[in-house]
Structure formats: structure tokens, C-alpha cells
């Protein structure tokens, strides 16, 4: 299995820093490093904007920090986009859209257990980007199939670049929009969504998985063909632990879980300590053990991370950096306790 477990650490990519050097330094403190996404540094570094590069029909306003879509522009630009479908460089993230990504690719990280990349997923991208009628492009039967294929190509190209850096590279498809998938989804029901996502993941090279901080339909999500799932267990512990049968099936297929346990929001972080976080995490594991999940086997297929990203703390990046440090210490304690 190329995705490591054993309670090693990683983190989600969106960081509040305006200093790219510092953000990259902090990202490298995790066992499985990643390239940071820094929307406070530049709007090009926003996760939706990075996913939108070369997508036909996009209206990007850097001054107003808006990302919109025009069907008229899509029609005009579609042929040009299709002419590049066999050109990997067209689907990679350019230096203009992320200087940090390209600096990461120039590092020597072959000795790390793995490295990780990410791209905004099609469900969230399609929810967030609105057309000229203020309607999410996910609802458009013409745009949606193209969008899924386009994003799959982008993920595969990035994964190839990262595998040249470290043979155990893997990708997160960031999908915060999955928690809204079955609410107000006129004309896009769960069967259609499941079929689209199954097709989407069949187009993506392995290893691949989903990261999200919200609370989706866990049966639905764990039933997708994923290698790794990253979630906010700090917020969703009670709900997630009630899905033991789906979790067991996911683990039995070799799936890896990233337990996001350390809060990055200032108020939540200040009220926790190492002991309280360990207690919360082990409470979830104990519930799952009572429901038939083999905990030693699960921990071999587990990593730890901060619970969420956070861009709005009053102390800017300080609490986020503290959370990264706590994750590393917590990992050390638990790895010793469980003999890793």
C-alpha cells in the first residue's frame, strides 16, 4: 500500500499565511507534506481559482476576487480547450496560479513516507461557480460531464508530477460541497450523483481520495471507490462513529482514514489540550471497536491531521501553526502508545 498509515501526520492545504516561505516551512513539518494553497497571499492561490485555470467560460476578476461563468464564453472557448486534451501541461497548475506548487516540485522529498497534492473536486467546483443566471454549473447537463472529465485530467497530471517527486504520492479531491449534495438539488438526485462520481473516480489514477470538513451522507461517501478519506472528526465524531458497517467495509478494502482531530479555530483550540484531544479520538475508536472494527488494523490504516483549515482567526496564522505542532506531538504520543 503506497499510502502510509501508522498514525503519521498530514494536513489540508488551505492556509492563512501571506508569507509563502513560512507556509511551506509549516507544511513540511508534517510527515506527509503537501503544497499550501494561500488565498490571502494571492487570489490565484484560491482553491476554486486554481481548479478553474483553462476551464472554458470562466470569468475571473482578480481585483474584485470573483469567479463566475458565462455560457456564451464557454461555447466560444470549448473547441480551444478540447484541442489541448492530449497536452498534459495544459492541465497542470501554472506558476502564475501557484508559485508554491512549483517550489514544492523542486524539492527533494524522496525520503518522506509520501507526499500529497490536491485539487478542488467537481461537485464543489460546480456548486460554487455560478453562470450568468446565478445558477450553479453543476446543474447544467451540458457542462457537468465536461467538468468531470476536465477535473479528472487535472488531478492525473498533478499526481504524475508528484510521483516524480516521491513514488508514494497521492491526491486529495477536496469536496466541501458533498455535504450539500442532497439538499435543494433539483434535477440532480443521489443516483445520478453516485453514477457521476463513480465515473469520475474511474478516470482518476490511484492513489486518490476525498478530503472534506463537513458532514455528508457517510454511507454514500464511504461507498465510493476511494483509497483515502480525510475528515473533521473533532466536529463529526458522534455522527461518523455511527457508520461502523460502512467504515469497516472501507477499511477492509484497504482504505486509509485521516482523523482531523486538532481544531484550528482560535476559540475551539484554546479550550482543548493534548489530553482532551486524545480522549475524544480514542472515544471514537472505542465505539468502533464495540461495533466490530479491529482497532490495531484500523490504526495501521490511519493518519492524523488538523480538523479543518481556517482563514479567519484574529491571530492570523498563529493558531493554525500551533495546531500543526500539536498534531505532531499527538502523533508521537499515540504512535508510542500503539507501538508504531
Q: How much is the pLDDT for 193?
A: 78
Answer for the pair 160, 108: CB distance below 8 angstroms, yes or no.
Answer: no
Residue 116, strand partner residues: 34, 170
Q: Which three cell numbers stand for residue 38?
A: 494561500
Residue 306 DSSP symbol? E
Could you tell me the fold of the domain covering 8-337? Answer: TIM Barrel (3.20.20)
Answer for the pair 283, 237: CB distance below 8 angstroms, yes or no.
Answer: yes
Q: How much is the pLDDT for 113?
A: 97
> Mean pLDDT for the chain?
93
What residues contact 286, with CB distance under 8 A and at least 6 apart? Answer: none
Q: How much is the pLDDT for 187?
A: 59
Rounded distance, CA 316 to CA 17, Å? 8
Taking residues 92-120, report their average pLDDT: 96
Alpha helices in the chain (DSSP H): 20-27, 47-52, 71-82, 88-91, 99-105, 122-128, 143-165, 190-202, 218-222, 233-240, 244-252, 266-270, 274-290, 295-300, 318-337
Answer for the pair 162, 109: CB distance below 8 angstroms, yes or no.
Answer: no
Structural domain boundaries of the chain? 8-337
Taking residues 224-252, report their average pLDDT: 95
E strand or H helix that includes residue 231: strand 228-232
Rounded distance, CA 170 to CA 194, Å? 22
Rounded distance, CA 10 to CA 171, Å? 12
Give the global pTM.
Answer: 0.94
Tens-place pLDDT, residues 70-82: 999 999 999 999 9
Least confident piece of the model among 169-183, 224-238, 271-285, 306-320: 169-183
Taking phi over 0 as left and psi of -120 to 50 as alpha, with beta for the rest, 209 belongs to beta
Percent of the chain scored above 90 by pLDDT? 86
Q: If we measure between CA atoms, which residue out of 250, 275, 279, 286 comes closest to residue 329?
A: 275
Tens-place pLDDT, residues 152-206: 999 999 999 999 999 999 999 999 888 776 665 555 666 777 888 889 999 999 9
Q: How confident is the model at residue 288 (pLDDT cuts 50, 70, 90)?
A: very high
Q: How much is the pLDDT for 315?
A: 94
Q: How much is the pLDDT for 214?
A: 84
Taking residues 305-315, report their average pLDDT: 93
Rounded distance, CA 292 to CA 104, Å? 41
Amino acid at each position: 500500500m503506497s499510502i502510509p498509515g501508522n498514525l503519521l501526520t498530514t494536513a489540508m492545504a488551505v492556509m492563512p499565511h501571506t508569507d509563502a516561505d513560512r507556509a511551506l516551512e509549516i507544511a513540511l513539518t508534517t510527515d506527509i507534506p503537501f503544497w499550501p494553497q494561500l488565498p490571502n497571499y494571492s487570489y490565484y492561490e484560491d482553491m476554486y481559482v486554481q481548479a478553474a485555470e483553462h476551464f472554458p467560460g470562466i470569468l475571473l476578476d482578480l481585483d474584485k476576487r470573483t469567479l463566475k461563468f458565462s455560457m456564451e464564453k464557454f461555447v466560444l472557448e470549448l473547441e480551444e480547450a478540447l484541442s489541448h486534451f492530449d497536452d498534459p501541461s495544459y492541465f497542470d497548475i501554472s506558476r502564475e496560479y501557484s508559485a508554491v506548487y512549483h517550489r514544492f516540485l523542486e524539492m527533494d522529498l524522496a525520503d518522506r513516507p509520501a507526499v500529497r497534492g490536491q485539487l478542488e473536486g467537481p461537485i464543489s467546483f460546480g456548486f460554487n461557480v455560478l453562470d450568468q443566471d446565478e445558477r450553479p454549473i453543476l446543474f447544467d447537463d451540458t457542462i457537468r460531464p465536461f467538468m468531470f472529465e476536465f477535473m479528472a485530467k487535472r488531478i492525473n497530471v498533478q499526481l504524475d508530477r508528484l510521483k516524480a517527486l516521491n513514488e508514494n504520492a497521492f491526491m486529495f479531491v477536496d469536496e466541501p460541497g458533498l455535504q450539500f449534495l442532497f439538499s435543494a438539488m433539483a434535477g440532480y438526485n443521489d443516483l445520478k450523483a453516485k453514477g457521476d462520481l463513480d465515473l469520475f473516480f474511474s478516470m482518476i489514477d490511484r492513489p486518490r481520495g476525498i478530503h472534506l470538513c463537513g458532514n455528508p451522507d457517510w454511507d454514500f461517501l464511504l461507498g465510493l471507490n476511494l483509497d483515502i478519506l480525510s475528515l473533521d472528526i473533532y466536529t463529526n465524531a458522534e455522527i461518523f462513529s455511527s457508520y461502523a458497517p460502512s467504515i469497516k467495509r472501507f477499511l477492509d478494502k484497504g482504505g486509509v482514514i485521516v482523523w482531523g482531530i486538532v481544531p484550528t479555530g482560535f476559540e475551539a483550540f484554546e479550550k482543548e489540550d493534548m489530553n482532551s484531544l486524545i480522549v475524544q479520538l480514542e472515544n471514537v475508536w472505542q465505539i468502533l471497536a464495540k461495533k466490530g472494527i479491529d482497532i490495531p488494523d484500523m490504526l495501521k490504516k490511519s493518519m492524523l491531521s488538523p480538523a479543518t483549515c481556517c482563514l479567519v482567526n484574529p491571530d492570523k496564522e498563529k493558531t493554525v501553526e500551533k495546531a500543526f505542532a500539536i498534531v505532531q506531538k499527538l502523533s508521537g504520543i499515540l504512535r508510542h502508545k500503539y507501538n508504531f
